Amino acid sequence: MLKDKGEQRTSLASLGEFGLIDHLTANLKCTQPSTVKGIGDDAAVLDFKSKKIVVSTDLLVEGVHFDLSYMPLKHLGYKAIVVNLSDIYAMNATATQVTVSIAVSNRFPLEALEELYKGIQMAAEVYKVDVVGGDTTSSTKGLLISVTAIGEVEEENITYRNGAKENDLLVVTGDVGGAFLGLKVLQREKSVFEVNPNNQPDLDMYTYIIERQLKPEARKDISKLLHDLDVKPTSMIDISDGLSSEIMHLCKQSKVGCNLYEDKIPLDPQVISTCEEFNIDSTMVALSGGEDYELLFTVRQEDFPKIKANPNFSIIGHITEAREGIHLVTRANTKIPLKAQGWNAMDEQE
């Protein structure tokens, strides 16, 4: 969050663009063998030898993707890195470097950006990626953050969205729906605070789902876990826009259909209890919520014995012929056509 008026506020103009970059990146260290040259020249120099390179980029815009009234800047920096790394892990690859660019308005002092970069540095250290470049510029619309993530993978291990085959099993890591509900709780408490600023929210009962929203974690562990189990996914995608949207992406790219079983969707108990409190259907939340950053993938039927008892995975459906369509099989054993109702950034525009 922005600093209180009584705290130190150093104007960004007093440093200038290059002084600001030097200041914010002074503590960032490069540790990846593939990083030949990081920040400090016209371009980074990377050497991946015989491996394939995967690159993904993402843009976070204040007022569309985050609200600084309840998103601490340190958390925002951490999340900005994590959501990009998730795309690299969804390729069954290892993330190695990121670049970070920010556009910032003059309402932000240096101390606010220091908080943002503390989160960026923390994520870089946790996920063992090097920050090798970026850009800073001014903005008239608040804060914008653009992160590009780079990773490496052996060619035979690359996993695309288009490899799912009929009879493959549909698998998801972790649990889903928590990030959306964490956002709902934060939005509710913001509304209460605006009416009564003296009201102090008690969020202890929502700890897990709020953390899923403010400080998500990407599934760095899954690629190694699958490798150790001798399982090669046939397709994979990360869950950023909601389970239903991601299933439909996989099916469209792979030209297949799917049956998703409602009773197999993994939900945390805090998700279930908060859905009851908000009087929201938990399946709808799981399908449409988004921002969970779990991985959704398919495996061959013969790999079932290797993953069936693993607590990291839930088998939630199976792939069918394209002509059979994409369906949710309800607890009452009714088949309902699945619709992509995930979050859409374009809907936020006026």
Q: Consult the annotation and say whether 291 binds a ligand.
A: yes
- Give me the helix-helix angle, 269-278 and 207-214, nearest 10°: 100
The answer on whether 238 is annotated among ligand-binding residues is: yes
Burial class of 211 by CB neighbour count within 10 A (0 to 12, 13 to 18, 19+): middle
Q: Which residue carries 């959306």 as its tokens?
A: 180
- Phi, psi (deg, nearest 5) at residue 92: 65, 30
Residue 332, C-beta contacts closer than 8 angstroms, at least 6 positions apart: none
Phi, psi of 50 (to 5 degrees): -90, -5
Second-level CATH architecture of 169-342: Alpha-Beta Complex (3.90)
Residue range 13-157, CATH number:
3.30.1330.10
Q: Is 263 marked as a binding-site residue?
A: no
pLDDT of residue 21: 65
Domain ranges of the chain: 13-157, 169-342
User: Is 42 assigned to a binding site?
Assistant: yes
Is 86 annotated in a binding site? The answer is no
Q: Is 117 annotated as a binding residue?
A: yes
**The pLDDT value given to residue 346:** 40
pLDDT on residue 294? 98
Question: Would you state the pLDDT for residue 350?
Answer: 36
Q: Known binder of ligand: residue 175? A: no
Half-sphere exposure at residue 129, Cβ-oriented, CA atoms within 13 angstroms: 33
Asked if residue 240 belongs to a known ligand binding site, the reply is yes
161 is in an annotated binding site: yes
Of 154, 295, 291, the C-alpha closest to 233 is 295
For residue 244, CA distances in Å to 35, 101, 241, 344 come to 38, 31, 8, 13
pLDDT of amino acid 167? 98
If the chain, 350 residues long, is cut into consecutive pieces of 10 residues, what is the mean pLDDT of each piece? Answer: 60 70 74 82 84 93 93 97 97 97 93 96 97 90 95 95 98 98 94 83 91 97 97 97 95 98 98 96 94 98 97 98 97 91 47
In this prediction, residue 37 carries a pLDDT of: 81
